[in-house]
């Protein structure tokens, strides 16, 4: 379970809350006019397909999928470093984090968004590669984010898979503009 005192502001995951039409970082203050700090969003773009990891505009939908790059807030992610070196990847639209569904460790297990609980299926490492892309590895399973080849159209699944080095497992991480 998430313990707010487990993180130090600016190092781990501070309190995330909705205010003034966007997700904000805490600590949340009750003073009128306090806007918090807006996290910087990044795009996670697949090297092979050129698509971004995307979430649906509906706040209760858990699905993460691929979609043509447009850079809107539903394709923006915030990367938070925990004191233990792990990274939590949080949707700038929903405030939910990237999660391996059901603690699964098999190839093809879907990646979804879920409330942050601090479990290992929500923790990642970013490993730089020789072509300046990144391998995004699950702390839980040791497998990497993979863009499923079928279907090739928008809406295709983002899954975990054993590393084989293909471009569908390589990700560009760029600031959203």
| This prediction's pTM | 0.77
Extents of the domains making up the chain = 41-175
Q: Give pLDDT, residue 61.
A: 66
Tell me the pLDDT tens digit for each residue of 57-81: 765 667 898 888 999 999 999 988 8
Tell me the pLDDT tens digit for each residue of 2-57: 333 333 333 333 444 455 554 444 444 444 443 344 467 899 999 998 899 999 87
Fold topology of 41-175: Trefoil (Acidic Fibroblast Growth Factor, subunit A) (2.80.10)
Where residue 75 falls (left for φ over 0; alpha for ψ -120 to 50; beta otherwise) is alpha
Which pairs from 138-146 meet CB under 8 Å and 24+ separation? 138/100, 139/86, 140/100, 140/103, 140/105, 141/100, 141/104, 141/105, 141/109, 143/105, 143/107, 143/109, 144/169, 145/44, 145/53, 145/111, 145/169, 145/171
**In sequence order, which ranges of the chain are alpha helices (DSSP H)?**
none
Mean of the pLDDT values across residues 148-174? Answer: 85
Which residues, 6 or more positions from 125, have their beta carbon under 8 angstroms from its beta carbon? 85, 86, 87, 136, 137, 139
Mean of the pLDDT values across residues 124-150? Answer: 92
DSSP class of 101: G
């Amino acid at each position: 379970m998430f313990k707010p005192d487990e993180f130090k502001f600016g190092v781990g995951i501070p309190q995330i809350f909705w205010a003034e039409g966007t997700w904000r970082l805490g600590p949340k203050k009750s003073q009128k006019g306090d806007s918090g700090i807006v996290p910087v969003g990044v795009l996670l773009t697949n090297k092979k397909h050129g698509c971004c990891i995307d979430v649906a505009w509906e706040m209760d939908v858990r699905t993460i999928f691929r979609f043509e790059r447009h850079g809107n807030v539903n394709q923006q992610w915030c990367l938070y470093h925990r004191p233990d070196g792990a990274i939590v990847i949080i949707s700038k639209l929903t405030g939910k984090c990237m999660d391996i569904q059901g603690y699964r460790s098999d190839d093809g297990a879907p990646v979804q968004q879920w409330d942050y609980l601090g479990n290992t299926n929500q923790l990642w490492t970013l490993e730089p590669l020789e072509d300046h892309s990144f391998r995004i590895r699950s702390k839980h399973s040791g497998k990497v984010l993979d863009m499923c080849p079928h279907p090739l159209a928008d809406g295709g699944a983002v899954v975990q898979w054993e590393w084989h080095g293909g471009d569908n497992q390589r990700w560009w991480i760029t600031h959203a503009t």
